[in-house]
Structure 1
Amino acid sequence: MRAKNFSQARPMTRYLPIRKEEFDLRTHIETSGHSVDTCYHIILTEKMCKGYLVKMGGKIKSWKKRWFVFDRLKRKYITNTMPFPPLDKHETKLKGLIYFQAIEEVYYDHLRSATKSPNPALTFCVKTYDRLYYMVAPSAEAMRIWMDGIVTGAEGYTQFLN
């Protein structure tokens, strides 16, 4: 088995991580051609992306609707079990988190490997060092916004920046 040549490899995502403090996530997503104002499934600010996604469990392979928060300030992607969008940090019941440093790739599940997904056409993957997360967005536009947003914070494949 031959070793991978990282100088020739490239991530499957459109954008590389952006670490600038003054970076405006909402503007970046809008200028990438996404219709943020018409996608009511997502709350998007200059530093956060929030909304519901359906996620496949790690140990028990069932699909659960979860509230996700992608936070550029805290440099992590979190989920909780609240039945409605939490108003502040005291209302959240943290269920899991992914640090930006662990995210290697974010890609559309074009192989349909999540065959038992509630909606294979809206399934995307977040690959980390130790796990592959399958997520289902409520719409195609929401899926593209989530994917592009997560990639701007991903730091697991920084070898591609050299």
Structure 2
Amino acid sequence: MMSYFSDTSSNDDELETLRWYHYDMSRHAAEALLLSNGKDGSYLLRNSNEGAGSLALSVRANDSVKHFQVTRKSSGYAFGFNEFPSLQDFVSHFANQPLLGSETGTLIVLKYPYPWRVEEPSIYESVRVHTVMQAGRTERDLVAKAPSLGTKEGYLVKLGAFIKNWKQRWFTLNRNELKYFKDKMFDEPIRTLDLTACSAVQFDYSQERVNCFCLVFPERTFYLCAKSGVEADEWIKIIRWKLSQIRKER
């Protein structure tokens, strides 16, 4: 792995041996990765856009991801009010004192380091996170030039609007558009849902079916059912992440 810094000190070598150091991963990509594939308490270390010597610790807390600045110094690493002479001391501190407090007062537990080399989980079959692994690129570059950031596709069963029957449809999620087709081989969608108009996505228990969730739009609430609870949870998480990004841009 290439070093982000120009010098070849032992601190650089130590940083690059850290299994949960993700080098040039952007803030948006880290959020997508942890929300899609991590769990509460998953965390990773990455380079920050604040400049040379700045790192960021990204931690998943429930359905959001918090980011904390870690500063590299000649004497070691500064994190909050603490300084650590080495990464080993840095990691040992997390093991012995695993609670972090965000600016909102939320306590975040560091439980699961997310390694940069993993056996890809099954969720990657449907959710693909694209990152730009080039020095000098920013989050803005990533969003503009990676149209597939956080995509998903698969069959869902949808409740009709007027005739209340359930029909299987092929769904694709790309950027802020959720499209559904009569079947997978069709090129033209039956309808395209603009997620910028969606106010919420959540599990739904009002229908006489399992593994259902709903998307709330001003003119209609769409009821969808997946083949399993895990699949429904994947759809909810990736759409919820999309909605959070839309709100940030407003």
TM-score category of the 2 structures, normalised to the smaller one: 0.5 to 0.7
d(CA) in 1 for partners of 2:198, 2:242: 8
Taking a change above 3 Å as real, the CA distance of residues 57 and 26 of structure 1, as seen in their structure-2 partners, is farther
Where do 1:1-162 residues align within 5 Å? Answer: 23=29, 25-26=32-33, 28-32=35-39, 37-38=121-122, 43-46=126-129, 47=149, 48-72=151-175, 75-82=176-183, 84=184, 86=185, 91-109=186-204, 112-115=205-208, 120-154=209-243, 158=247
Q: Secondary structure at the match of 2:29?
A: coil
Q: Is the 8 Å Cα contact of residues 36 and 127 (structure 2) preserved in structure 1? A: no
Q: Secondary structure at the match of 1:23?
A: helix
- The residue aligned with 2:137 is none
d(CA) in 2 for partners of 1:97, 1:43: 19
Q: Secondary structure at the match of 2:172?
A: strand
d(CA) in 2 for partners of 1:53, 1:27: 24
Number of residue pairs matched by the alignment: 124
Q: Given residue 203 of structure 2, which amino acid in structure 1 is its aligned partner?
A: Y
d(CA) in 2 for partners of 1:126, 1:70: 13
Which of the pair has the greater relative contact order for Cα pairs under 8 Å at 6+ separation?
A: 1
> Offset at 1:45?
1.1
What percentage of residue pairs aligned between the two structures are identical? 22
Q: Given residue 113 of structure 1, which amino acid in structure 2 is its aligned partner?
A: S
Q: Is the 8 Å Cα contact of residues 35 and 237 (structure 2) preserved in structure 1? A: no
The unaligned stretches of length 5 or more in structure 1 are 1-19
Q: Given residue 56 of structure 1, which amino acid in structure 2 is its aligned partner?
A: L
d(CA) in 1 for partners of 2:225, 2:212: 4
Give the RMSD, CA atoms, in angstroms.
3.0
> Offset at 1:100?
1.4
> Offset at 1:26?
4.8
Q: Is the 8 Å Cα contact of residues 157 and 225 (structure 2) preserved in structure 1? A: yes
- The residue aligned with 1:8 is none
d(CA) in 1 for partners of 2:166, 2:178: 18
The unaligned stretches of length 5 or more in structure 2 are 1-25, 41-119, 130-148
> Offset at 1:150?
0.8
d(CA) in 2 for partners of 1:137, 1:67: 11
d(CA) in 1 for partners of 2:28, 2:203: 28
Q: Is the 8 Å Cα contact of residues 107 and 147 (structure 1) preserved in structure 2? A: yes
